[in-house]
Structure formats: C-alpha cells, structure tokens
Amino acid sequence: MTFLWPQFLWLLLAIPLLVAVYVWLLGRKKKMALRYASLSIVREAMGKGQSLRRHIPPLLFLLAITAMLMAASRPFAVVSLPSQRETIILAMDVSGSMRATDVLPSRLVASQNAAKAFLADLPRGVRVGIVAFAGTAAVVQQPTLSREDLVAAIDKFQLQRGTAIGNGIMMALAELFPDAGIDLASMQYGRERQRGTSLDQALKPGSDARKEFTPVAPGSYASAAIILLTDGQRTTGVDSLDAAKVAADRGVRIYTVGVGTVEGETIGFDGWSMRVRLDEETLKGIARATQAEYFYAGTAADLKKVYKTLSSRLTVEKRETEVSGLLALAAAALSLVSAALSLLWFNRIL
C-alpha cells in the first residue's frame, strides 16, 4: 500500500496516546471504586463478562479513529475491479491444420465451441470482433454487442491453406486502430507465400508507424485486448513477433492460446500430407512482448478452461486505486457499532 499524503501518517502517533489516556481513566475509576464499603459488591455487579465487555466499544472506536487517520493519508492499493476494457478481438486460426483430431472432435470444432462458451460468459457490455486467418486474414465480424451475430460468424468458418499469424494480429490491430495506416492489401495471400511479407510492406507511407509515433508502455492500453488462437507455425505473411511489437507499442495485450500438441499430427487433404506442430515458443514470445499470457490447450476440456480463465481475467483486473473511501466507510461502520454496543450494554455512548 502506498500513500498520496504520507505526512498525515504522523497522526497515527496519537493512537498510543489515546490508549494511555484510556488506561489512566480505568485506573482513576478503580480508585474511586475503593471508596465503596465493600468492593465485593462491585465485583459481583460487574462480573468477569461485564469487565471484558466494557472494553469492546472503546476498542472499536479506537479502530475507527485509526481507519479515519489512514484514510486522510489517501492510501492506494492494488485491488480487483471491473475491467474498463470495451473491445476484445478474437483472432482465430482457420488453416488446414485445424482439421487435426488430436483435440476431439477436431481442433477447429473444439475452438469454435470454446469460443462460443467464452462469449456466453462475457458481460453483455463488452464488444467483441472476430478475425479469421489462414494464408490471409479477414474480419469476419466487426466488434459488436450482438452475441448472436458473433456465434453465426464462428459457425461459418471455412478451412484454408497457409498460416499467417502475423497477418491475423495486424488485421486485429487495424480493426482496433483504423487510423494506424495498416495496408491490408499488402498482406494478401499470393506471391508472398514463400518469402513472407515484411512489416514495412504492411504499413502505409502515411501511417503513424512511419511518422513520429511515440510508443506507449506494453500492456497499458486498457480499452481493448486481442485473444490469438492458433495450432501451428507461421508459413506466410508478416512475421509474428514483428506484429506483436506493433501491438506492444500501442499497449495492446495479446493473450495467446495454443491448441493441439507439441508433437503434432500428420494430416492429409486434397492430395497433401503434412505434419502439423504447435509452435509454443513463438506464442509465448508474442504474449511476453505484449505483457499478456500464454495458455496451452491440449484437449477440448483444456481449451474451455482456458477461455473461462480468460473471461475472468478480461472482465476483472487488478489495478492500483485509491481506497480512502473504503477506509472511511470502515471507520463509520466501526463507530456506529461501537456506539450501538455501548448503548445496549451500558445505556450510554462510550
């Protein structure tokens, strides 16, 4: 806990003084009690329970004063609060390797089911957009509050060749920052398949990335986040880590989810046969560069758990905030309880 006005903490030195005054008053009352003809009469009237009970209201009042003095110092603490994040982009892999069945019933179906469950858990006030990527990337649903439209877009996924993870990230960023100058046309599938697309090719000459652009701290943009789900290695398009750097410079966190197995599986389709593996190191690097997290989902159940975890992480976040109000509330409550107990037990306030 930190304090905006720490100089007021010196007032806490008054607490031991108040305790000393209270002890002195108790001693003074004890001397007055000796004037009675028989001290045993007083002891019988008070009893052990009564003797302990009389200290409870003053103790509560002392705690109330302590809380008020700490509130005056304007303390800050890291607490869990509702997230201010307004938009989430789901960037989902629809490459041919998603037909693999090491995650039942298939990687694609498992990811679709988990994504729909994720949408159901999100608060209705969070807008969600969907980017699908394979050899190219496309916005299949712009950010919206309509969960029905999002589910319909997820159900329409079609498998394609190639895996352009970086393109998926850049497309998601283009949706979040329409004025960033991302040239989507340069990231399309074609002759760039073998040599890939450089980041320079994906940024227009007039974009803020080419002009004087001041990067912000990674993870500092609280209004949006990207969830990247993929099962394979990049085969084309913008370099994945370069795209992550663009996101990091804008403060956008990219939570990466690896679906499948590291050992991979050999699949065949349209006369092709290939072994598809999970590139965990790249996904961890993307998450690390953007101050986010990487999640591994080796089964359909794991994938659902990952999305549930992400739902809680994205709707509630820990951040430093002033808690003076909470301490003032606690002080008021303690004062009221102290006064109420004193009236109930002794027919007086303290």
Do 229 and 294 share a structural domain? Answer: yes
Q: What is the pLDDT of residues 65-108, one digit of tens each?
A: 999 888 888 888 876 655 555 899 999 999 988 888 888 898 89
- H/E segment holding residue 22: helix 14-33
Instruction: Flag whether pLDDT at 216 surpasses 70.
Output: yes
Domain membership flag for residue 1: no
Asked whether 286 and 219 are in contact (CB, 8 A), the reply is no
Do 328 and 313 share a structural domain? Answer: no
Radius of gyration for the alpha carbons in the chain, expressed in angstroms and rounded: 31
Domain membership flag for residue 2: no
What does the pLDDT average to over 143-162?
A: 93
Domain membership flag for residue 148: yes
Domain membership flag for residue 208: yes
CATH code, domain carrying 121:
3.40.50.410
Q: If pLDDT is split at 50, 70 and 90, which confidence band does 7 have?
A: confident
Distance, CA of 266 to CA of 277 (rounded, Å): 9
Domain membership flag for residue 4: no
Region label for 210, one of left (φ > 0), alpha (ψ between -120 and 50) or beta (otherwise): alpha
Do 127 and 149 share a structural domain? Answer: yes
Instruction: Flag whether pLDDT at 289 surpasses 70.
Output: yes
Domain membership flag for residue 213: yes
Do 44 and 168 share a structural domain? Answer: no
pLDDT at residue 81, rounded to an integer? 58
Three-state DSSP state, 332: helix
Identity (one letter) of the amino acid at 122? L
How many CA atoms does the CB half-sphere of 74 hold within 13 Å?
4
Do 328 and 269 share a structural domain? Answer: no
pLDDT at residue 193, rounded to an integer? 41
Instruction: Flag whether pLDDT at 39 surpasses 70.
Output: no
Do 99 and 247 share a structural domain? Answer: yes
Do 169 and 20 share a structural domain? Answer: no
For 105, the token pair is: 């019933």
Whether pTM exceeds 0.75: no
Query: What are the CA-CA distances from residue 20 to residues 14, 15, 24, 244, 348 (Å)?
Result: 10, 9, 6, 61, 22
| Count of domains observed in the chain | 2
- The C-alpha torsion from 141 through 144 and 145 to 149, rounded to 10°, is -30
What does the pLDDT average to over 177-190?
A: 66
pLDDT at residue 191, rounded to an integer? 39
Asked whether 207 and 167 are in contact (CB, 8 A), the reply is no
Site of tokens 């994945």? 240
For the chain, the average pLDDT equals: 81
Domain that holds residue 224: 82-320
Do 162 and 215 share a structural domain? Answer: yes
Do 117 and 17 share a structural domain? Answer: no
Least confident among 104-108, 173-177, 206-210, 302-306:
206-210
pLDDT at residue 192, rounded to an integer? 43
Domain membership flag for residue 23: yes
Do 229 and 163 share a structural domain? Answer: yes
